[in-house]
């Protein structure tokens, strides 16, 4: 196995708000997007025995955090530093809206996303993605940009319906609140065929950099880069299913992957804009074709 770098870099919080969001004029502030209240999304209809809601109470957030812990720590072996045993909890959770998919038969949460709105990103001082990447070139997008994170689906429900339900609710949320851009870190496990290495991630990055790279004005840099130049990037391997889904929705990769040593993943920075949704997905999620 080729050696990965030791995560010794600091992430300074000094001046984050000033660095990430330009000062607003009074007229800009009057038009600022307010924090959306959790609402029942259009996708909150039973579909194949599942329903979608936004968490309204702490116990519902805790259910999502338990699912995240089971998937990330139990299945993926992530090393989670959490204040609540058996739950994946971090400082961003209190500022996020939490989207839940439930199994109608059992009431159990089987899928989740968390959504950090522009207004709440201001309050916490950054996005999670800012801790992994230098997002300076996205500065002009932030006022209408949400961050998607902590996506996971229960192992018994990964046939596609759950993630489509989540995406439908997210599209409706974006449309209702006048938001047009989504970013996030899409993870690639740092193992392949039973061997821990970054070769799979390096190979996926090579492929996507040739086919799905964003324009240069949106490129970002990882704070702890995966050393792709020292890895075997010649593997013929497909990206994980979630990344393939993002690409079908018109998402772009913003740059090379970062290494997340706690989750033992390589994380690709991705951006998706509502205007780039293919017509068939606009009809499916929003009920109207592209202009």
Q: Please give the chain's pLDDT, 291 residues, in tens.
A: 344 443 333 333 333 444 454 444 333 333 343 334 443 433 443 445 999 999 999 999 999 999 999 999 998 888 988 999 999 999 999 999 999 999 999 999 999 999 999 999 999 999 999 999 999 999 999 999 999 999 999 998 887 788 888 999 999 999 999 999 999 999 998 876 566 689 999 999 999 999 999 999 999 999 999 999 999 999 999 999 899 999 999 999 999 999 999 888 999 999 999 999 888 888 888 776 444
Distance in Å from the first CA to the final CA of the chain = 50
Put simply, whether the predicted model's pTM sits higher than 0.85 gets the answer no
DSSP 8-state class, residue 69: H
Domain boundaries, the chain: 36-285
**Beta strand 195-196 pairing with 252-253:** unpaired
Q: How far is CA 254 from the centre of its chain?
A: 13
- Determine the pLDDT at residue 192: 61
- Residue 203 has which token pair? 């190979």
Q: Which residues of 76-85 are buried (b: 16+ CB within 10 A; e: fewer)?
A: eebeeeeeee
CATH no., domain 36-285? 3.40.630.30
Torsion angle defined by CA atoms of residues 169, 175, 179 and 184, in that order, rounded to the nearest 10 degrees: 30
> Do 267 and 260 touch, CB atoms closer than 8 A?
yes
């Amino acid at each position: 196995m080729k050696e990965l770098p030791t995560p010794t870099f600091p992430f300074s919080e000094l001046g984050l708000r000033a660095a990430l969001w330009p000062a607003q004029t009074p007229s800009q502030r009057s038009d600022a997007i307010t924090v959306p209240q959790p609402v029942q999304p259009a996708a909150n209809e039973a579909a194949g025995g599942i329903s979608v809601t936004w968490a309204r109470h702490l116990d519902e957030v805790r259910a999502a955090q338990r699912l995240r812990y089971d998937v990330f720590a139990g299945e993926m072996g992530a090393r989670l530093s959490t204040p609540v045993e058996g739950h994946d909890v971090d400082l961003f959770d209190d500022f996020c809206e939490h989207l839940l998919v439930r199994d109608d038969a059992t009431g159990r949460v089987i899928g989740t996303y968390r959504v950090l709105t522009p207004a709440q990103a201001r309050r916490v001082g950054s996005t999670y993605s800012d801790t992994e990447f230098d997002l300076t070139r996205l500065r002009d997008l932030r006022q209408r940009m949400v961050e998607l994170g902590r996506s996971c689906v229960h192992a018994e429900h990964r046939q596609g319906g759950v993630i489509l339900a989540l995406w439908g609710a997210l599209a409706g949320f974006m449309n209702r609140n006048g938001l047009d851009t989504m970013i996030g870190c899409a993870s690639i496990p740092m193992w392949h065929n039973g061997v821990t290495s970054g070769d799979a991630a390096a190979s996926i990055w090579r492929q996507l950099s040739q086919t799905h790279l964003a324009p240069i004005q949106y490129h970002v840099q990882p704070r702890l880069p995966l050393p792709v130049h020292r890895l075997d990037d010649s593997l013929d391997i497909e990206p994980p299913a979630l990344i393939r889904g993002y690409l079908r929705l018109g998402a772009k990769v913003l740059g090379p992957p970062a290494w997340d040593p706690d989750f033992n993943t390589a994380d690709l920075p991705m951006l998706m804009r509502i205007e780039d949704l293919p017509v068939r997905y606009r009809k499916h999620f929003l009920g109207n074709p592209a202009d």
